[in-house]
Amino acid sequence: MSDSKPLAGKTAIVTGASSGIGRAIAEHLGGAGARVYLTGRTESLMDECKTHIEQQGGKAEVVTADIRDVTQVQDLINQAVESTGRLDIMVNNAGLEFPAKIMQGDPENWRTMLETNVLGLLVGCQAAVKAMRTCNAEGHIVNISSVSAQRNNTGVYGATKHAVNVISSSLREELEEDTIRVTNVMPGAIATNFARNFDRDFVNQILKMAGMDIEVQAGEHLPHAVLETLQQKTKQLLGNPNDVAKAVIYAVTQPIEVNIADIVVRPPRAMTLTH
């Protein structure tokens, strides 16, 4: 294993790898030598990520799946283990937010957040630990939470991320006698398509602040190049997905006797949003 490829020979899974933080994490893991399994619901975007990883000399596989489906999560992990004989890194990144006050919220949106942000992550943790134990891996579970979990008034989304923090801490304690570490990463506002469900006036205002003459519609995904330009023009308010990915690489390349519990990655200025 060389210093330039510290994860050579390891297998990694990244959920929510279609874009944003998940894509950045997958690309950095691939660049560090891991064979990366990308999972999400938008195959074409994951194919772009796979191509990028392979152009850099890495290896990647695309598995289209809905993280809310327990069976699909378990099948994903089984597929990676059957193909490579092991699982070393599980990054539970998939997540979404439907901002709304509780009295104005849609219960179906709440269900989607709970099933994606909490249930999918829980099943991913459990299945990954079982797989890591089977192959005697010095494994790493990385859960992507949010700085919203550091406040107690961040609505239903914040509640799901409080749950992620509790799950991470509880699992870390359960695994103290195992060679498996759990790291909880809490990003602040990052330039991704995460805000696709936010109020359009708010999103378009941010774009105008960056001097970008673009109008986006509800649910619309911005191209990767547009997001990169947006981040460059709003560095004080929006962080770079690559900075979150670098934090993940730092955590998963530490010796197994080092326990990196929590990492916060945020831009210089905090952006307080209505949840």
3-state helix, strand, coil in the chain (%, to 5): 50, 15, 35
Could you tell me if 219 and 203 are in contact, meaning their C-beta atoms sit under 8 angstroms apart? no
Helices H, strands E: what count in the chain?
A: 9, 7
Is residue 183 classed as helix, strand or coil in its secondary structure?
strand
CA angle 166, 38, 195 (to 5 degrees): 60
CA angle 226, 62, 99 (to 5 degrees): 50
Q: Which of 157, 186, 190, 248 is catalytic?
A: 157
Is 37 annotated in the active site? no
- Strands across the sheet with 89-92, in order? 59-64, 35-40, 11-15, 89-92, 139-144, 180-187, 262-265
Q: Which residues contact 133 (CB under 8 A, 6 or more apart)?
A: 178, 180
- Count CB atoms within 10 A of the CB of residue 3: 6
Q: Read off the DSSP letter of residue 119.
A: I
Could you tell me if 131 and 77 are in contact, meaning their C-beta atoms sit under 8 angstroms apart? yes
- Count CB atoms within 10 A of the CB of residue 108: 9
Alpha-carbon distance of 10 to 27, in angstroms, equals 14
Is residue 88 classed as helix, strand or coil in its secondary structure?
coil
Q: Which of 252, 251, 263 is closest to 8 using CA atoms?
A: 252
Active centre residues (catalytic): 157
